[in-house]
Amino acid sequence: MTLRTIVTLPDPILRRKAKNVTTFDKNLQTLIDDMIETMREAPGVGLAAPQVGIPERLAVIEYAEEEEEEEEGTESPSRPPRPKQLFVIINPEIVKTSEEKVNGVEGCLSIPGLVGEVERHEKLQVKALNRHGKPVKIKAEGWLARIFQHEIDHLNGVLFTDLASRVWKMEPGEEEDRV
């Protein structure tokens, strides 16, 4: 596996609509593996192919939803953290969204140093192909739904800064999930 260079603004590939993936070959599998390694190394929770200079409808996402505490102030140190789920989505389509929307702070590996407040659907359903070309349906909510929307936006040439109600420079030590 190879770390890929993450493309940053103002590279025009970030503004182009990506093309559908039509060939599921060894090169695609290598690209997927490289993207997973690059996302983890960055570190980020999602990475779309245009972010590594490839104008194809492919994204990788890895995230673990935080468990809600049953009672406020209750901690369970014996419970292990939830494992991260890895998704490889090819030619994804959002087929269903909740009416409910929520605001959240987003950053992006392709726009280093900036974060913004973006309104997104709280829940959604995505139809895509997995890394082997098999159809999958994924239901996501909360931050995972936000990540899917962010990555699919990348495939359509849309950046979080286009949708943000406000954008600001990150302060040193300020953290966000970069997608």
Positions marked catalytic:
151
Element (DSSP H or E) covering residue 149: helix 142-155
DSSP per-residue letters across 16-41? SPPBPP---SHHHHHHHHHHHHHHHH
> Which of 151, 130, 148, 131 has the alpha carbon at shortest distance from 140?
148
d(CA 74, CA 97): 32
